[in-house]
Copies of this chain bind each other. A is one copy, B any other.
């Protein structure tokens, strides 16, 4: 699949502010980025550093005041979709070092509180089958309701309320997976067919010796997903972090299928 991505952000910032921005499609073997372009006004400083686990880049910058930014790219995705069910659980003593932190509870995914629920509800399956069961459990019980959650909403809030947006669905699946000793990370992505159009969020679980994409909302299939970056949860890979007051004026995300 080939996608055209167009993002425009506009923020009011009363004073010079430090920002961390991560909105560019990552350069990865399974997604080829053509003609990427990013432009922004009014930055005092600007630097790029590697994203978590070497996926994508963070842009570290300091604004001189109000901030606007445009990003354009065409991305070709060449990713074989794979059934999740047959993938095998990796015992924790065989995990690679960089997967271990994705077992730990995090800001939005307090997985330690969900062990009893997971044991009771999903105790009779393992590995990929368990993850598929969790995905289906979320899908059949939760409603996708734009506006129903906010920046403080955790996987626990969503678990109780049974509604949320993509990042909330992702947080619940991550928390459930980690409570099963399956490493799970948050993936900030672009995808078509997200309604209303916006940044999207999915999950990667570590099974059978590698990471595998799953969309807990069921909106996107693995070969329709453009990865931006990964992290423990939305707190570690936000598209924008601000270290001072920042008021959103407009934000548009367009992802169009062109091939």
Contacts and interface: CB of A to CB of B under 8 A. Distances in A.
A115 B60 contact: no
Contacts of A91: 18, 45, 62
Contacts of A58: 100
Nearest to A99: B49
A241 to B, nearest CB: 7
Given A107-B107, A241-B104, A114 B47 contact: no
Nearest to A141: B120
A152 to B, nearest CB: 7
A84 interface: no
A162 B116 contact: yes
Contact of A113 (B50, B105, B157, B181): B157
A251 B120 CA distance: 29
Nearest to A50: B97
A52 interface: yes
Interface string A241-253: 1011100000000
Contact of A235 (B52, B62, B96, B105): B105
Given A62-B91, A152-B157, A104 B162 contact: no
A61 to B, nearest CB: 6
> Which of A50, A103, A116 gathers most chain B CB within 10 Å?
A116
A60 B244 CA distance: 40
Interface of A: 18, 20, 45-47, 49-50, 52, 58, 60-62, 91-97, 100-101, 103-107, 110, 112-117, 119-120, 141, 143, 150-152, 156-157, 159-163, 179-181, 231-232, 235-236, 238, 241, 243-245
Given A112-B151, A159-B160, 7 more contacts: A18-B92, A62-B91, A101-B236, A114-B160, A116-B163, A117-B160, A117-B162
12 contacts: A58-B100, A60-B100, A62-B91, A62-B93, A105-B235, A107-B107, A110-B152, A112-B151, A114-B160, A115-B243, A117-B162, A156-B160
